[in-house]
Chain A
Amino acid sequence: MVPGSLTEPTAALLDPLPAQDALIRLDRIRVSYPLKNGAQKIVLDGIDLDIHAGEFVSVIGQTGCGKSTLLRLVLGSESPAEGRVLVEGREVIRPDRDRGYVPQKYSLFPDKTVTDNITFGLEVEEFSLLTSLTPRYYRRRREFRAEALCQLAKMGLHETDATKYPDQLSGGMQQRVAIAQALVMKPKILLMDEAFSALDPGTRAGMQKLIREVWQETGTTVLFVTHNIAEAVSLATRVIVLAKNPAADGSRVALDLSTAEPDISARIEQVTGQIRCDAS
């Protein structure tokens, strides 16, 4: 049997570490959407997954296999029909500041400059709508701005970019700012949904290097959704391959591999190739 094939039991593929150590735990997750004809489209079914603090986990799979849905479950912007998503043992109900988010599109607030985008989180955390009119706010804002400039420098951006609006930046620069915006809040988990998909190969390589450095420096747990096998393998410490299970009409974890394993890319390609054959 091919390792990670669709007929292999999911449980055998899961990380053997005990559940209490997991930072993120997905417990028997099932996600379905109602169709117009009254039937249910099952997107994820029977997903069990543990992710530990400090891991860099890539989620890969074919289009429509539920990669982004899985990320949104951890984010809290979507709820499972069955099962639970736990972060530090607490059930995830809605998005919060513990989980930073970098989507592929609309990653920055278009009405705010680069600095204002980065300081937004710091400002809303400390100042409400009303207290943002006090003199203390203006004093603190200077400090926030200094921190934003520091983050910008870390992301390889110039001080001159600080006053620009998002639509004046290239795609790569926008994603750098989005990462800075998320990291300034010091989140426990960084969730990236196809964050580099829209970038050209050169910019993409630069961004991959950057995110790897950021992860090594901060130790933040990263959940990185991509459809690029090479990217998933080169960045992550662990790769989760999601695949559609024709028998269950939903997706499941088809492979859960450490990137230290030999021939990992070939194994992933083998599984995804088999899925393509099965699907056709």
Chain B
Amino acid sequence: MSLLNICAKPGRTATWTLSWLLFATGIVMYFYTAQKRHQENPDDRVVPTFAQLTSGIYQAAMNQDGDEGPSANTDGQSAFERFRHGMLWTDTVASSRRFFYGLALLFPAVLLGLHMGIFPYFGVFFLRFILFFDKIIALSVLPILFIAFGIDELSKVMLIVIGVTPTIILDTFNLTKGVPQEQLVKGFTLGASDFDVAYRVVLKQIWPRVLNSIRLNLKPLMLFLFAGEMIASTDGLAYRIALLRRHMGMNIIIPYVLWVALLLFLVDLAMRLLNRKLHPWFREA
């Protein structure tokens, strides 16, 4: 078995072992480092131990914002009630709401890209502007957004719009342009109108690729959302991370970071499965 063999076909065991090896190595190295640091300094807060992490997760999940200690402010509530009012859940709901607003705003962007690609006058009207708009660094206009839209939800959603929509518009435009001319002509010869061709021929063909493009832009979308939340927010996952940074609350920050990664992974997985289910004809390149 040669690791540098192009024609190699890893078996099931090799695939399973190799794909989990880096995860296992990372976990082992983390806890080894944590143990070492705590041996040298028992008050170390930079690399929390397993027990500190567990306590941090419990605290984040069960305690409300401002509660102190692992069993604070329970007031006889059930575990479910405490979880529902806990920091982790309320922050997740707040961030998810903004995330889905941002995601919803990508759909008009897809329609604009489609129209730009299909209707030449739309294309010439918008293309140059969108190309320029795409080059604006979204974070650089953050102060302007806060001045123009205030520090509430709108400015954070606008940050997502400025950061991600130009990419989606241009990607959809390129995908639309990539549909063979024969397909459009074929549509017309079968009696389709311009809008039929746009929505029933082109959009249906590019839709799985557009979903893929949106999926690949989930991380930038989240990045802009986090930037907004970290600077001006009173709730949300990024707000909590920024707040805890001041108190060196690594035992909660690390679970939060992993929770965000897990959520994004699940959204990504859901979109991939949905794409496969909705478009059985689509084969990814």
Contacts and interface: CB of A to CB of B under 8 A. Distances in A.
A93 to B, nearest CB: 11
A200 interface: no
Given A77-B181, A103-B182, A121 B191 contact: yes
A209 interface: no
Given A109-B201, A124-B200, A165-B281, A77 B185 contact: yes
24 contacts: A75-B185, A94-B188, A95-B188, A99-B189, A101-B186, A106-B182, A106-B183, A109-B201, A109-B205, A110-B281, A111-B204, A111-B205, A111-B207, A111-B281, A111-B282, A120-B187, A121-B190, A124-B190, A124-B192, A124-B193, A128-B196, A129-B196, A129-B199, A165-B281
A87 to B, nearest CB: 13
Interface residues of A, number: 31
Nearest to A72: B185
Given A75-B189, A95-B188, A124-B192, A106 B281 contact: no
Contacts of B195: 129
A109 B199 CA distance: 13
A145 B59 CA distance: 60
Interface string B274-285: 000001111100
Given A97-B191, A182-B189, A165 B280 contact: yes
Interface of B: 180-183, 185-193, 195-196, 199-201, 204-205, 207, 279-283
A112 B187 CA distance: 13
Given A95-B185, A129-B200, A185 B191 contact: yes
B189 A96 contact: yes
Q: Chain B interface mostly helix, strand, loop or mixed?
A: helix
Interface of A: 75-77, 94-97, 99-101, 103, 105-107, 109-112, 120-121, 124-125, 128-129, 165-167, 181-182, 185, 187
A94 B193 CA distance: 11
Nearest to B181: A77
B200 A97 contact: no
Contacts of A111: 204-205, 207, 279, 281-282
Contacts, number: 81
B183 A109 contact: yes
A49 to B, nearest CB: 21
A240 B199 CA distance: 38
B191 A125 contact: yes
A187 B190 CA distance: 9
Contacts of A187: 189
Contact of B188 (A96, A107, A129, A167): A96
Contact of A181 (B190, B199, B280): B190
Nearest to A125: B191
A120 B190 contact: yes
Contacts of B191: 96-97, 121, 124-125, 185
Given A121-B191, A124-B191, A167 B283 contact: yes
Contacts of B183: 106, 109
Contacts of A166: 281
Contacts of A105: 180, 182
Nearest to B186: A101
B29 to A, nearest CB: 46
Contacts of B181: 77
Nearest to B193: A124
Given A96-B188, A121-B190, A167 B199 contact: no
Contacts of B200: 120, 124, 129
